Amino acid sequence: MAAHRDPWPAATARPGPQGSASSGRRPLPSGHEHVAALRRALDDVDVDRLTAWGARLAAVLPAGGRLLAAGNGGSAAEAQHLTAELVGRFRDDRPPMSAIALHADTSSLTAIGNDFGYDDVFARQVRAHGRPGDVLVLLSTSGRSANLLRAAEAARELGMAIWGLVGAADSPLATACDEVVAFGSIFPGAASTATVQETHLVSVHLLCAACDAALGVAPVRSSTAGSQPADSQPAGPSPTGPSPAGSSPAGSSPAGSSPVTRAGTAGRPRSGPLVIVGDALLDRDVAGRVERLAPDAPVPVLDETADTARPGGAGLAALLAAGNGADVVLITALAGDEAGRRLAALLADAGIAVVDLGLTGTTPQKIRLCAGPNTLLRLDRGGGGPVRGGLPDAGRRTLAAARGILVSDYGRGLVRERSVTAALAGRTGGVPLVWDPHPRGGEPCRGATLVTPNLAEARTFTAATPARPDPIAEATARGRRLVARWGAGAVAVTLGERGAVLVGPADGPPLVAPTEPVAADPCGAGDRFAATAAALLGAGALPSEAVVAATRAAGAFLAAGGVSATPPAPGRHTDGGIGMAAAREVVRRTRARGGVVVSTGGCFDLLHAGHVSVLAAARRLGDCLVVCLNSDASVRRLKGPDRPLVSEADRAAVLLALGSVDAVVVFDDDTPAPVLTQLRPDVFAKGGDYAAGDLPEAKVVESWQGQAVVLPYLAGRSTTSMIREAVRRGGT
């Protein structure tokens, strides 16, 4: 380790062994002085920043992300200490996470040093192991090591987050990192090598503790000494003894309940929110029947039967992300009129936090007049006023703490507001930024991680580029122009039923993400695509992985009924959505808005297209859908001892992942009658080829003036036939 100037300027010079201090070097401090310096340093530890870093690791690493760490000398030891805690465990057991100390592979280190020079020993490994969204942690007391500075440059080129544990806050390495925890400022003179390294060790432990806390890791007491940490094995038996019979460890399900009924935050990554920035609208579907023409003009008369409202624009993107369980904050501008208050209430019902800049004028509304599946007319109302104020401090803090940012620009002015644009352009920490542009909006900030125009928008942005007969070739050419124009990491041009084309700054072949064609209103598919991509990039996915998954999600969204089947305020799926309490809350919210409650029931073992079709059709009958699910014991009584193939916990989780399902209740009886009696749905729907009067649930539902209906079922789709075919092909 390199020598430094005396780090303890307050220390008193003492004579050496020969009674002289004339050597020109100050003597080492006494033990008391050493401890006093360390105490001052620990008082200066930025615990809040380390806690935020831990939360970010808890989001990135379990989702397939990776941490790389590097340092020289004693800092190398601290870097390896950090990776060992993540791959192993800090205190309590949890799944291992990917973390690599770049100095620990001596073969690579010496080969790179010999062939390329010591300054590149870390940078070359960063380029080999690092991916966009990964984290690089660099440790240094001096902050001047060339090999660490080169590593930071390589990480920035890849779109990684770069964190530094350094001595001086004004060192070159501190400047090269996105975020730093520095200790040099506590000393009047140069920072102490020993003290800085000691505070780095404490910082490593604080970072690991924060990561585990964000993951919801519960203390685990093992019955075998071999699984205890090597430095904490008790000398004798556990003083607590065995757990009482029937008790549950921390974080486990109570007796008799399914693990899927636990609060979704337990044991799952917790981090900053997904932040969505853009113009929110109020979408309304006015549905009715058309049975006559108006006497005064040859136009149809719509007899209104329902008026359903949901957030639109950036609000729809937030609604879809929240329905998938993300913690969502929406930065938008809301008007103070009745429509604005209704929009704010819908966002609150969906669990979406709002940073409101205020909107002059009236709330923009898109009102669709519908008869059955057909839209007769769309009426646009309101809007046009400017944003009332600039981005408040709460908005800046929210953006700084985000795990990912989605700009959903609908061209109404919020994104062009100067303070909003400046905050987006100045984002730090490698936070992924997805930009869904609008021709009437502003240009995306340079350096956006991913921009997602559709082909029509790409044509508007690149009007000078000649058209091509092949949409994929045209999307590729226009996408490359936009990557260069906007300095974006990548551009994904969406092509409707043809999927999406992803291009980057290089000249390699594009990535084409196909999708299944769906004959449906495409409204909302772009929001579904962008919200999914932003959430996945925030969790550490590669742009290619995010775009492929987002394309599939958009197709599934349309297949499930699209925006018309989207609940106005979907249940927070990660915070329950399963169980009677969650179902009652969904019913309460729906009825408070004057909506229609629909229920259905079944085993749903090996979910297939027939199930999905019936569930989507049932959801379109009202404003929420509660599924009554046969328990494992109930399925065995009805189907035989070899069923179900899928446990009730997994069946419930899969059902809840569908956009058409708002809540799931598992029941042990042969029919869902007891559940229906408690929920009292307005409609009970069942797929099949029998009459509604033959349904055993019909009399129960009709007892409170509800209605039982039968829905068409896709022929040839059944779990039993799937099992028989699998057995036939397997030859057993």
The Cα 335–Cα 661 span in angstroms is 31
The residues, ordered by sequence, that sit 6+ positions from 409 with a Cβ below 8 Å of its Cβ are 278, 279, 415, 435, 436, 437, 438, 441, 442
CA separation for the pair 121, 136 (Å, rounded)? 14
Rounded to 5 degrees, φ, ψ at 180 are -135, 155
Q: Which is catalytic among the residues 279, 527, 623, 682?
A: 527
First to last CA, the chain: 67
Per-residue CA distances from 175 to 20, 156, 192, 240, 630 (Å): 42, 13, 20, 50, 59
Q: Hey, which residues does 454 pair with through a beta bridge?
A: 494
Closest Cα partner for 134 from 433, 524, 541, 416? 541
Catalytic: 662? Answer: no
Give me the amino acid identity at 151: A
Cα distances from 212 to residues 97, 464, 712, in angstroms, run 11, 52, 49
Cα dist. 571→271, 469, 630 in Å? 20, 44, 21
- List the structure tokens of 125: 């490994």
Q: Is the dihedral of CA 8, 14, 18, 23 positive or negative?
A: positive
DSSP H stretches of helix in 560-642: 580-592, 609-619, 632-639
Phi and psi based region of residue 438 (left: phi greater than 0; alpha: psi -120 to 50; beta: remaining)? beta
Neighbours of 479 (CB within 10 A): 26
Helix (H, G, I), strand (E, B) or coil at 553: helix
Which residue is it, tokens 């062939």? 115
314 φψ region: left (φ > 0), alpha (ψ -120 to 50), beta (else): alpha
**Structural contact between residues 537 and 59, judged by C-beta atoms closer than 8 angstroms:** no
Distances (CA, A) of 287 to 302, 421, 563, 621, 661: 8, 39, 14, 11, 21
Q: How many of the other CB atoms lie within 10 Å of CB of 652?
A: 26
Rounded-to-integer distance, Cα 715 and Cα 93, Å:
49
Alpha-carbon distance of 556 to 607, in angstroms, equals 14
Task: Return the HEC string of 634-694.
Answer: HHHHHHCCCCCCCCHHHHHHHHHHCCCCCEEEEECCCCCHHHHHHHCCCEEEEECCCCHHH
**Residue 628: strand, helix, or coil:** strand
| Residue that has been written with the tokens 């919801």 in this structure | 216
Cα(563)–Cα(577) distance, integer angstroms: 20
What lies within 8 Å, CB to CB, of 296 at 6+ separation is none
Residues with catalytic function: 527
